[in-house]
Structures are given as structure tokens and as C-alpha cells.
Amino acid sequence: MKKLLLICLTVVFAFNANAQTDKEKLAELKTELAKEKAELKAAEAEVAAVQAKIDALPGWRYGGVGIFGMNFSGTSDWVTNAVPNASSYAPSLALTGYVHNIQSKYFWRNNANLNVSGLRFTNKDLPEEQQQDSLQIVNNSFNITSLFGYKLTEKFALSALGEYRTVVLQNTINGVDSEFNNPGYLDVGVGATWTPIENLVVVFHPLNYNIVFPSGDFESSLGTKYVIDYTRNLPLGIAWTSNMTGFFSYSDAEDPNLHSWNWTNGFSFTAFKGIGVSAQLTLRRNEQEAFQFGGLEAGDDNITQLAYVIGLSYSL
């Protein structure tokens, strides 16, 4: 009996000793992990500080994001659908890029954006001659800007801006043909640019002429051009870009008025070697477009246009 008791006490002691040793090891590992995390955080802050200094150096900067999406679907004898036998596909492409030259006395910022997407739907139950083979355009826009500024101070500059926007694919909306440069918008103006921080650019040009093509269907006018461009890295490795561009016309035209604005937001998450997932959302308000292509008439409420694309992306 004494031997059995002695054995039990020895086992309990050994177990407690091992448990104590494991707890001590776990505490040591947690301490080492916390120390390594602190060192990693300090190293990341140092890398960010060095990168900020590099970004502030004069020279060329460039980059871009390409988003591509493709969706296929189809049915065969799916009797719960209004069209039991059908097929469809929807391709989409969004490209955004920039080339900037930042110097001590001047800057030259160039940006471009292309959005094209479509949808093809085929009702296989219809006779072949009645099936639509053409791709229906869902989104169709191209925009390019060039901003030159001469710095009076580190954050304030006199500037000149040229911006052009149009569609790239031919399409017919409400019986009206839309194609390259129909409609087309060209803004040319001068004013001032304010860059309060590295990733924010505010352009205000009170002397700007907005030329709209074709001249027979649209009206050009003098007014104020404004642009707000902002970029920021959000948590979880998400990059955010936001661009607001607008025109306030000095014309007294009312139906339609000649004001317009366009706001684009892009979000991208890079998972591996530039490949990731991105989304882009665009809001636009333009009464001349709404009256010409949206079938609106005098007294109708204007529409705010919306377009978006989500898909795999590649960042440069």
C-alpha cells in the first residue's frame, strides 16, 4: 500500500512539474512573440518612412489597375424560367492608369480611365433569324486628363488642365446613335491647384471652356472646372482611389442646364504579385446627356447615372 501511494505521489509530482514547465515555456514563447511583433511593427514604420521620402523625390511616377470580369450562364429545359432554353455571357473591362512627373518647381499629372462592359443574351427557343447575336453595351466610357502646374509654394500652383471624355463603342440608345466623340467633352482651362498633402490634389479653374461634340446636338459654354483627386491605403491591404471632376457653366440655360459632374471610386485588394480583386463605382450627372439619350424633356427630373464593375485585377 505504501509503495502504491509512493508511486501515485511520484506520478502527480512529475505531472505537476511537467505542467509547470509547459506553462513557463508558453509564457516565454508569448513574450518572444510580443517582442518580435513590436520589432516587426517598428520595421514596417521605418520602411513606410523611407518609402515616403522616396515618393517625395522629384521624378516620374506611374501605376495602374486593370479589372477584368467574365460571367457565363445558360439553361436547357429549365421549365421554371420564362425562357427555358437560353445562354448569356457578360464581359467587363476597367483600366485605370497614371503617369506623373513631380519636380521641385512644377508638376505634370496625366490620368486615364477606360470602362467597357456588355451583355449577350440568346433565347434558343426563338427562330435563329430572331435571335440577337449582337453584344448589348452595358458600360462604355473613356476619360483622360492632363494637368500642368507651376509651383508658387510647395502646396499651391498656377495650373492648366485639359480633360477629354467620350464613349469608345458604337451603340444606339432610344433611337439615337452614340459613338466615339458623339458625345465628346473637352475641357480646357486655367486656374490654381492645391496639394495640401501628398495624396490629395484639388484643382479649381474659374476660366474654363467646356466644348461638347457634336456641336449641333450639344451646347458648349464657359464656366468653372473643378477636380478633386485622392488616394489612400486602407486597412487589410485595400487601396482606395477617388476622383471627382465637374463643370459649373456660366450659361443661363435651364432645359437642360449645362452643368455636369463625374465621381469615380476604386477599391483594390492585391493578394499575390499584383493579382487581386478590385471594384469600381462611377456616379455621373449630366442633363445634356440625359435629354439627348435618356429621352427626357423640359421639366423632367434629371437622372444620376451609375456604373460599376467588380472582378479580378492586376495592379502595376
Here the CATH number for the domain that contains residue 130 is 2.40.160
How many other β-carbons are positioned within 10 Å of the β-carbon of residue 61? 12
Residue whose cell numbers read 513631380 = 102
CB 257 within 8 A of CB 286: no
Domain count, the chain: 2
Cis peptide before 214 (omega within 30 of 0): yes
Same domain as 191, residue 71: yes
Same domain as 114, residue 3: no
Q: Which of 57, 79, 96 is the last residue of a domain?
A: 57
Host domain of residue 16 = 1-57
Measured distance CA(182)–CA(51) in Å, rounded: 44
Same domain as 32, residue 75: no
Phi and psi, residue 278, nearest 5°: -135, 160
Q: Over its length of 316 residues, how does the chain's per-residue pLDDT go in tens digits?
A: 555 555 655 655 555 555 557 677 777 777 888 888 888 878 877 776 676 666 566 789 888 888 877 777 777 767 567 777 877 777 888 888 899 999 989 999 999 988 888 777 777 777 766 666 566 776 788 999 999 999 999 999 999 999 999 988 776 655 556 678 788 899 999 999 999 988 899 999 999 999 988 866 788 999 999 999 998 888 877 888 899 999 999 998 777 888 999 999 988 887 777 788 888 888 988 888 877 776 666 556 667 888 888 877 777 6
Same domain as 68, residue 37: no
Same domain as 232, residue 283: yes
Same domain as 311, residue 192: yes
Same domain as 288, residue 234: yes
Measured distance CA(228)–CA(202) in Å, rounded: 5
Q: Which of 57, 75, 103 is the last residue of a domain?
A: 57
Measured distance CA(303)–CA(289) in Å, rounded: 10
Q: Report the alpha-carbon angle 163-184-167, nearest 5.
A: 100
Same domain as 190, residue 86: yes
Measured distance CA(147)–CA(154) in Å, rounded: 16
Please name which of 276, 261, 264 lies closest in space to residue 225, comparing C-alpha atoms. Answer: 261
Q: What local confidence, expressed as pLDDT, does residue 132 receive? A: 62
Same domain as 171, residue 254: yes
Beta bridge partners of 160: 148, 190
Measured distance CA(179)–CA(293) in Å, rounded: 12
pTM, two decimals, is: 0.73
Q: Which of 16, 39, 57 is the last residue of a domain?
A: 57
Residue 167: DSSP 8-state: -
Same domain as 93, residue 15: no
Q: What local confidence, expressed as pLDDT, does residue 314 receive? A: 74
Same domain as 269, residue 121: yes
Same domain as 116, residue 215: yes
